[in-house]
Structure 1
């Protein structure tokens, strides 16, 4: 007898998208060590602004509490402390969404919860993802052996596919504002998906990691849509909102009313988390709580505006060059059509080798991304301006 491996892992691509990008950058740096200092990274979606002062102060205070017997805390509740859940509850009220505390689960980030939530569902379920797609949605389901179907997007639908009769799926992933395309569903679009889920007894897994970039009347939460509580689970993160990419904190909302096969998914998720997860640190959760204070929100808005200004620099460049794109207005991502009808990996190499700028090839996000490219606004103003100046010069030379 010997241990058998999960054969589904052998079906995955050997290299995760960003690992392949890193490999190509290393090869370029080895070949051009004298140019390495000029490299500008506009690809991976990591933030560059530091944690807001209010958040840091709250974490320092919490750390000091941990060093005093009277205020020391050991194991906390796996689903999160009520003080943070209450702050999130108040935040959602701004959108007209009422949540019970037991519907909010604190985690170490949306990415892990998006994969872990699959523990609640049968491996024979069919999964629908939009293409282009955040790779985690696909890879985590491939690891479990589920059938995956795709709702294709394009210029024609503004990279916002809508339900169609042929999409017979049990689990549906939606991300709005979308990663990688930056496209954002309006209320009408999300209402169509909620109704589709209701009609097909499907579950919507709604990734709202970038909701903090939404402005105007566009939805921040799927629960702003009537009926969503009976079909949707929402995932959100402090990573982009407050710079927690290295601090790790997020939350998942599972409504009490959400049931399948007579079972409460809220209770199932609670059972799963109390068994497999020991919770987020007290220090981190105090920092996350500070995100929703008056000073925290003011400081965070300054950081978000900094990234919005970077996005404007990028979109203004695309407008001057008459390049089609989505995103940038309510998203930190700009999804652009590759110049001269190039495929995305060829354009990646050209941009790297001739402009010393790194982006993300759209092909890494699915078939619909083959001739598209993602740039991010998570950089400094100086690097963004310089990168776009190089980008513009390169594109202009390509058209001569």
Structure 2
């Protein structure tokens, strides 16, 4: 008799974005003439940069010739891409990394989910609330969550760090013991950031308590303000306690092309049952070489092209396009008297639902009355109840239409 992994039965309902899509599709099937604008799922709409496309074409041609064809590549990634990452994303900011500390992958979502495999099953996990659902769900799958409290909309063995208007969306340090801390900045879903001083508190806490910070900076390229840290390794001592995740998905339009990377410093240690220190770089390398055959040469050549002079200029143009959308949405929502957050250093706008509407109530109102799809804040956690996320990744035309439709709603 084949038995299932019982932990999967602890998962609550469907994945958030699958539920959003289900409701959207149901509405469209019942209202086929409705012109629905999607500002919900954070998928990009602009094409790949020209420098990337050219590099992809050139590498396909290489794969068609016997003398330049490549089969399996290095599991950790080709050095031409790793060196470009180190030189441009880290060394340019005064951060020194070794090539053995950078692991190229097919997406940050995969890495953020898979990284928990190298930690003990009884590790205590802390997450921000609201939170990107993958952080919670993958730990539920691994059996770390405990029972689900429907009233609190939380798992008993996961520590939730509330982020809301009252605390400026800056989570407090854990009041109880934790082993692993998930931080996401610029934040998804709130679009907010931490200052270097605030981030240093987390690094100091992790060093004092032998914790590991899993730092998701997938939206780093959207930071506009100079005093916002772009990497956790800008903080002294962070290499001793933090793993950083980066992605080309939103930076360079790779949501369908798939390429990202994870940094695991050599200094970073965790501990076995006897209290002996173990380098996490070695464990992650072992996991990847066993379960992952690497990102294709073609994709990595495309990713490397974003670091060329042409690529950098085209990426800057992409970011500017989406951040202009964010400004349009943010100012449009604020003009309606609705409290709005984010949208300054991130492509997400986080708004307080008006008149005490619940997150899903507001979702239904926008969908049925304005034909706009967003994401209910409560889908990201209990602290997201009464909030709502809009994304700036739509086209300019649809972004402007959506704001116009919002202005006609009665709240």
Please confirm whether the aligned pair reaches a TM-score higher than 0.5, indicating the same fold: yes
- Whether the 8 Å CA contact 2:265–2:281 is kept in 1: the answer is yes
Q: Paired residue for 1:342?
A: 357
SS in structure 2 at match of 1:204: strand
Provide the C-alpha distance between the structure 2 equivalents of 1:379 and 1:29, rounded to a whole number of angstroms: 18
Are positions 1:24 and 2:50 aligned together?
no
Provide the C-alpha distance between the structure 2 equivalents of 1:270 and 1:27, rounded to a whole number of angstroms: 44
Give the counterpart of 1:125 among 123, 126, 142.
Answer: 123
> Structure 2 matches for 1:172-187, cutoff 5 A?
172-187=181-196
SS in structure 1 at match of 2:335: helix
- Whether the 8 Å CA contact 1:128–1:167 is kept in 2: the answer is no
- Whether the 8 Å CA contact 2:352–2:386 is kept in 1: the answer is yes
SS in structure 2 at match of 1:46: coil
Provide the C-alpha distance between the structure 1 equivalents of 2:176 and 2:391, rounded to a whole number of angstroms: 31
Provide the C-alpha distance between the structure 2 equivalents of 1:51 and 1:129, rounded to a whole number of angstroms: 33
- Whether the 8 Å CA contact 2:162–2:172 is kept in 1: the answer is no
Shift of 1:118: 1.0
Q: Paired residue for 1:33?
A: 32
Shift of 1:19: 1.1
Deviations 1:23-60 (A, max 9, x none): 1112211211121xx11000000000100000010011
Provide the C-alpha distance between the structure 1 equivalents of 2:309 and 2:161, rounded to a whole number of angstroms: 41
Provide the C-alpha distance between the structure 1 equivalents of 2:219 and 2:3, rounded to a whole number of angstroms: 39
Are positions 1:249 and 2:246 aligned together?
no
**Alpha carbon RMSD of aligned pairs, Å?**
0.9
- Whether the 8 Å CA contact 1:158–1:326 is kept in 2: the answer is no
Shift of 1:322: 2.6
Are positions 1:270 and 2:285 aligned together?
yes
Q: Paired residue for 1:354?
A: 369
Gaps of 5+ in 2: 145-156, 272-276
> Structure 2 matches for 1:19-168, cutoff 5 A?
19-35=18-34, 38-91=35-88, 92-146=90-144, 147-164=157-174, 166-168=175-177
> Structure 2 matches for 1:191-210, cutoff 5 A?
191-210=200-219
- Whether the 8 Å CA contact 2:338–2:351 is kept in 1: the answer is yes
Which is further off, 256-265 or 307-316?
Answer: 256-265
Shift of 1:3: 2.2
Gaps of 5+ in 1: none
Deviations 1:105-144 (A, max 9, x none): 0000100001111111000000000000000000000001
- Whether the 8 Å CA contact 2:338–2:352 is kept in 1: the answer is yes
Which is further off, 231-240 or 257-266?
Answer: 257-266
What TM-score do you get using the length of structure 1 for normalisation?
Answer: 0.97
What TM-score do you get using the length of structure 2 for normalisation?
Answer: 0.94
Equivalenced residues, count: 392
